[in-house]
Amino acid sequence: DTGVSQDPRHKITKRGQNVTFRCDPISEHNRLYWYRQTLGQGPEFLTYFQNEAQLEKSRLLSDRFSAERPKGSFSTLEIQRTEQGDSAMYLCASSLGYRGYGYTFGSGTRLTVV
Amino acid sequence: GQQLNQSPQSMFIQEGEDVSMNCTSSSIFNTWLWYKQDPGEGPVLLIALYKAGELTSNGRLTAQFGITRKDSFLNISASIPSDVGIYFCAGQGENNDMRFGAGTRLTVKP
């Protein structure tokens, strides 16, 4: 297992378009997290899954953001009608259980909205 | 938004010098963690702390979990050029989600 994989690494999109990012966690990890990181800031928690159940989504930034993990393996994060303020790095992490030491982060998807 | 106050925001030091950075919070955390992030990559865990007062080392890195459970510090001894990067503290509370500080950007001059 090579760790947490995110695809694509970079995405440039026009304002108003929809974008979808994929995260493949470490295979034995049951928890999967999405974070957003803007320039000069630390990662900001968005949502997480335990297996296929989305247990926290109140911190998704708006109703334009949605995430799925249909079979408890990979996850997708979709942003509809993108805005320039959505430009950021979107990070995925996975863990076995909830303890912080177990989080492994992917390299992120950098989104630029023009 | 961020609940953790991390300082300093940036540091410029000479190779071989020691470094200290810290993090404070208005909330109590059960776990404190320190991560390093290189450009274009995700954060990588350096040290995790689980008990108030705990002092843990990982090579040249030493971190402590404050007695009040509202603060932590990270020390790096005898810095080397590859220590360059952004260091983040993170706290994990009762609801298990992890909050990050804004980071300390470290530059090491050879």
Neighbours of B17 (CB within 10 A): 13
Contact B100 A108 (CB under 8 A): no
Cβ–Cβ under 8 Å, residues B86 and B37: yes
Q: How confident is the model at residue B6, as a pLDDT?
A: 96
Q: Report, as an integer, the average pLDDT of A37-66.
A: 89
Residue B107 Cα, gap to closest chain A Cα (Å):
15
Cβ–Cβ under 8 Å, residues A4 and A104: yes
Q: Report, as an integer, the average pLDDT of B57-68.
A: 96
Q: How confident is the model at residue A93, as a pLDDT?
A: 94
Q: How confident is the model at residue B92, as a pLDDT?
A: 87
Residue A18 Cα, gap to closest chain B Cα (Å):
23
Name the nearest CA neighbour of A29 among A91, A92, A100, A102: A102
Structure tokens at B51: 């008990």
Q: Which residue on chain B is closest to A33 by alpha carbon?
A: B97
- pLDDT of residue B72 exceeding 90: yes
In sequence order, which residues have a C-beta less than 8 Å from that of residue B57 and are 6 or more positions away?
B47, B63
Q: For B33-48, how does the pLDDT look when each residue is reduced to its tens digit (9 = 90+)?
A: 999 999 889 999 999 9
Neighbours of A112 (CB within 10 A): 13
Q: Is the dihedral of CA A84, B8, A46, A10 positive or negative?
A: positive
Q: For A62-110, how does the pLDDT look when each residue is reduced to its tens digit (9 = 90+)?
A: 899 999 998 889 999 999 999 999 999 999 999 887 665 678 999 999 9
> Does any CB of chain B come closer than 8 Å to the CB of residue A39?
no
End-to-end CA distance of chain B: 36
Q: For A10-30, how does the pLDDT look when each residue is reduced to its tens digit (9 = 90+)?
A: 999 999 999 999 999 999 898
Name the nearest CA neighbour of A49 among A28, A65, A31: A31
